[in-house]
Amino acid sequence: MLSPFSPMPEIPVDFRAPPPSPVASGRRSTVTNDDVLTEFLEASLRVPDLVLPDKIFPKQKHLDAPPEVDFVSLCFHRDDALRDVVSDSLARIGCFQLLNHGIPSQLVDSAAEDAAGVFRVPHAKRAAATRSPEKPWGFEEYHAGEEEEEGSEEFVWCNEDELKSKMEGIWPIGYPNFSEKMEKLMSRIEMVAMKMMHVILKKKSAEFESENNKGNVCCIYKHGGDNTKDALANSLKYDVIRMLIRGTDYSHSLCFHLCNGSSQFHVYSKKSWLSFCPEPGALIVTAGDQIQMLSGGLYKSVIGRPIFKTEKKQSISMAFLCSHQKKKKNFGSHGSRSVSLSQQAILALILPLVYHVMIFVYKKLNS
């Protein structure tokens, strides 16, 4: 019997060394195997040479000019054949040309002439009227060197008191007269738009409302005088990239383009890029996202841009984006009030306390 202080006997451990790594048989050495492994790794880890396509944009297609539609015959004589022409054109390419629309050319030319003065406002003074998420009107945000590269600018006008106040502060002499002409021109465009919506969607004009003209805007474009092939190509690429990434910044039903003197008009969509020569004096109408939704996807929402190839240093075009919404009935004479999130949170905390107090009082009364 072993005593408690006697040493414990050693237990033998069966330990075997791992087998050696396999080496290729024959005369090849480990150095040769290393060379093979190196070649394999170099072939496996080599980055392939990627050949990108020269053109990343949809292929431009030249087409015959979209149908020319007489506004009076369409809206007042109720020409069903013309309505079918408009419907088919909106479904295929998302645009058509409107003639005999009744908007005086003198008013259009005068407004465009005054609009050129907007872009003569120095960049240093434009900060107060620069667009932002809170202010969807005014000048585009300016970066140094941008004007020289692209040669074009954009100004969004609308019938907002705040815009009027800001612009009169930085352009006190010319803006009041310009704004007055734009209000007249917008009013004429809106009358045409209401008639067109009635014809296109076969609904009464009273079913659509232009919310006191506050939802409609006009995008005024200054087209640069650099008409070289490279400059035009860069401008087109800029427009296409902007369309693919952002689409249009303003939800609308119809867009009415005034671009007298343009040599081409380009129509962009997610899948196509079309161009044609517009009819002089025509009002080019393109479909927006709202009319695509109202038509159940029948009509094609597109973005339109005119192209100017003239000897002028600059040209002005205007795009009026009209938004139409159905009228909503007011239930209650005083209107409805919304409850904020903070008020909802406070109410959620108070209700359980009230419940427990009522239970406590009930038990006390019945005890």
Note the helical H segments in 46-119.
71-75, 80-92, 105-118
Instruction: Say if residue 327's pLDDT is above 50.
Output: no
pLDDT confidence tier of residue 308, bands split at 50, 70 and 90: confident
pLDDT at 38: 75
β-strand pairing of 95-99 with 273-276: unpaired
Interval 190-231: pLDDT, tens: 999 999 998 998 765 555 554 445 579 999 999 876 556 566
Q: Which of 64-68, 69-73, 356-360 has the lowest mean pLDDT?
A: 356-360
What confidence score (pLDDT) does residue 346 get? 75
Architecture of domain 59-140+153-204+212-322: Sandwich (2.60)
pLDDT per position as a tens digit, 232-281: 666 666 666 665 555 567 889 999 999 988 888 988 887 777 889 999 99
pLDDT at 233: 60
Per-domain boundaries in the chain: 59-140+153-204+212-322
Question: What gap in Å lies between CA 126 and CA 122, rounded to an integer?
Answer: 7
Confidence bin at 337 (pLDDT 50/70/90): very low
Examine the pLDDT at 7 and tell me if it is beyond 60.
no
Q: Which residues of 207-231 are buried (b: 16+ CB within 10 A; e: fewer)?
A: ebebeeeebbbbbbbbbbebbeeeb
Q: What is the mean pLDDT of residues 140-156?
A: 65
Task: For residue 147, give Cα distances in angstroms to 35, 151, 224.
Answer: 58, 5, 9
Lowest average pLDDT, out of 129-138, 277-286, 357-366, goes to 357-366
